Structures are given as C-alpha cells and as structure tokens.
Amino acid sequence: MDPAEKILSRERMDQWIAAEKAANRRIGFTCGSFDLLHAGHVQYLGAARELCDRLMVAVNSDASVSRYKNLLRPIVPERERMYVVAGLASVDVVTRMEEDRPLSLLLRWKPDLYIKGGDYAEDSLRSADAVKEYGGKVAVVKSGFETSSSKLMDRIGLLSAHAEPDIATDISDSQGVQGLVLLDRDGTLIRNVPFLHDPAKVELLPGVIDGLLKLQAAGLRLAIITNQQGIGLGYYTVQDFIAVNQRLLRELGAHGVRISKIYFCPHSLAEQCSCRKPATGMITRAMREFGVTPEQTFLAGDSDDDMQAGADAGCQTVRMGEEGFGPAADLVLSLSRHIGR
Ligand SMILES: [Zn+2]
C-alpha cells in the first residue's frame, strides 16, 4: 500500500471518522510536526495505537511549524513528513494541521482519545479541557528514548564541523577568506591530556578565548588540525573524540569563537598515512578547501611535529610558548598584516 492513501483532506476525514464511529471503533487522535522522525516518535505512536482501535495523526503544516517552533524549521516539507508518518503501521490516517494547536480539529472530530507525547504535558491544557467536555479522554504517552529532533540537529551540526578523513570536499563559503589559522588542539587550545577521550577533562589553556577572538576579528578563519593516534590504536573511538570536540566547541562558541572545520588524523603511526603531522596532508587539504595560499596560512602548535608540518607545507608557523596562547595569537596577527592585500 502506498502511504499516500492514508493521507486525507479534512472533508474525507469527516467521512472516515463517521464510518469508524458507526462501526463502534475507538478513535485516537494525536498531532505533531514529526520533522526528523526518530525512535521516540515511532515508539510513541505505537504506544498510542495500543490505546485505541484507529489512530489518526494531524501533522503540522510547514507554516505552523515555522510559527510555533523556529523560523528555520521544518527541515522536511509537510508533504514528506505526512508521507513518512503514514508509512508507519501504527498510524491509520494522517491529515494536515494548519493550526498551531489542535483544538479546532478535536472539536470537529471529537475523537474518543486525545493522546499527547510526554514532553508536551503542560502545553495544551485548553485542548485537554475541551476533550473532557465532550466526553473524550486525554492520555499522555511517555517516550522511552532520550532523542529529539532538536538533539539530532545539534548532532548533525557537530558532525558537519568535522572533516571526514580522506574524502575531498569543498568549503563553499570560502570566498573572501583573509587567511586561515590552523590550530593544533591538544597542548595548544586545551591542556594536554594523554589520549584524551573524556569531555570532562577538556580545559582551555590561558589566553585561548581572547586570542581566537582577535584572530577572528582580523578576518582570519579558524580550523583545528589534530593527530588522534589514540583512535587508530583503539584507545578511544571517533565518537569519543567527537564528544571531546563538542565540549570544546561549546565552550568556544559560548564566547563567540567559531571553528570552521576540524581536520583529524585517526591513524596510528604504523599506518604511515599522509595526514598525520609532521606529514602535510591535513594542511594541504585545508588550504585547498578554504581556497588559501600557504602565505595566507598560519599554523599554531606546541610540538616539533606541528612546526615541521607547517614548514613543509610552506605555511608560517607559530609555536606556543610558556606564556599561553596570547603571545602566539599576537604573532599570527602581526604576520597576517604582511600578507598581500
Ligand atoms: Zn592519518
């Protein structure tokens, strides 16, 4: 069956409801935007269907999602969101909801049961009262999953800040980049913890926020370039590494610092890859993707390998000293004033 057959206009829904009521079937109603359908939705709709004989789902229109959630949402257009919801075995019929709240639909169809997701407990008391008034019941179904569309979006944002190793991509908004600062992570931005994989151990080094803000203000783009041999050796996973970066990006982001990309080498020394510093793979790739020349590229790091890699790639290198990140940032700034503008 094509799920589209389950999507009904309001007028056809009127007929469907009348027929189901005539057959003495208990009708459940629920609604939502279902923007990025996830396990929590599927579990919730399955549980809702258990409470009734027929489940109808009103899916918020694009305009209503923009209004009540966020101007930039939804991600998925209403036609496709309705189609996906209709594809679930637990769902009998789907309709579009233009309204922000389901009150008028509830009064039109008077379902036996108005079912809400657990996280919406407070949000539609007026609808609940109206349902009780015509003799219907309200049920709240708790989701068994922690996930949400917003969390998925955060996750997608985080992952897209990471460069996938060895797959060439272009950074489309690179026009007009004044210069690029490639930053080593461990020992340069954050305290060096051997094989760091615990986000709780992320500790920014002195001067990092101020220094990065200055570089950013000078029109320089910031990217991280880091060896993560611990992944290749099996000491921690890529996901552990990403979780550490999430913590770092969050702390930097809270101060207005934006890291455009994270390049990482997940290989062990034995794998003899071309990305692990002092090899230049990550640097040449970053320069290509940001559309900058070696003269416009600065590498700030704390190790011999960083300095070697930067020099071999033809970049200007700045070594972190004992005084923290501030002096290194100042040096990059003064060097960047001399690049051809
Ligand atoms: Zn590598």
Complete DSSP assignment for 226-288: EE-HHHHTTSS-HHHHHHHHHHHHHHHHHTT----EEEEE---GGG--SSSTTSSHHHHHHHH
Task: Lay out the sheet containing 137-141: strands in order across.
Answer: 93-97, 54-60, 27-32, 113-117, 137-141
267 C-alpha to center of ligand 1: Å?
4
> Per-residue pLDDT tens for 71-123?
778 989 999 999 999 999 999 999 999 998 899 999 999 999 999 886 655 55
276 C-alpha to center of ligand 1: Å?
4
274 C-alpha to center of ligand 1: Å?
6
CA 287/CA 285 separation, integer angstroms: 5
| Exposure string for 315-332, b = 16+ CB within 10 A, e = fewer | bbbbbbeeeebbebbebb
Cα of 121 vs its chain's centroid, Å: 26
Dihedral sign from CA coordinates of 319, 325, 327, 328: positive
Complete DSSP assignment for 302-325: SSHHHHHHHHHTT-EEEE-BTTBH
232 C-alpha to center of ligand 1: Å?
9
The answer to whether the beta carbons of residues 102 and 136 sit under 8 Å apart is: no
Check pLDDT > 50 for residue 338.
Answer: yes
233 C-alpha to center of ligand 1: Å?
12
63 C-alpha to center of ligand 1: Å?
46
On the question of a cis peptide bond just before residue 278, with omega within 30 degrees of 0, the verdict is: yes
72 C-alpha to center of ligand 1: Å?
37
280 C-alpha to center of ligand 1: Å?
10
Going by C-beta distance under 8 Å and a sequence separation of 6 or more, which residues neighbour residue 140? 115, 116, 117, 118, 121
305 C-alpha to center of ligand 1: Å?
13
192 C-alpha to center of ligand 1: Å?
20
What is residue 131's predicted lDDT score, i.e. its pLDDT?
93
31 C-alpha to center of ligand 1: Å?
48
Q: What is the maximal distance between C-alpha atoms in the chain?
A: 82
Q: Could you tell me the pLDDT band of residue 249, with boundaries at 50, 70 and 90?
A: very high
What is residue 47's predicted lDDT score, i.e. its pLDDT?
95
Distance in Å from the first CA to the final CA of the chain: 63
158 C-alpha to center of ligand 1: Å?
21
266 C-alpha to center of ligand 1: Å?
6
316 C-alpha to center of ligand 1: Å?
22
326 C-alpha to center of ligand 1: Å?
29
Check pLDDT > 90 for residue 150.
Answer: no
Calculate the alpha carbon distances from 321 to 113, 187, 202, 302 in Å. Answer: 67, 10, 20, 7
CA 184/CA 200 separation, integer angstroms: 19
76 C-alpha to center of ligand 1: Å?
36
What is residue 72's predicted lDDT score, i.e. its pLDDT?
75
221 C-alpha to center of ligand 1: Å?
23
Ranges assigned E (strand) in 156-227:
179-183, 220-227
Name the average pLDDT for the chain.
91
244 C-alpha to center of ligand 1: Å?
19
What is residue 57's predicted lDDT score, i.e. its pLDDT?
98
CA 320/CA 228 separation, integer angstroms: 19
226 C-alpha to center of ligand 1: Å?
10
> Per-residue pLDDT tens for 158-208?
888 887 665 444 454 545 678 999 999 999 999 999 999 999 999 999 999
The answer to whether the beta carbons of residues 297 and 315 sit under 8 Å apart is: yes
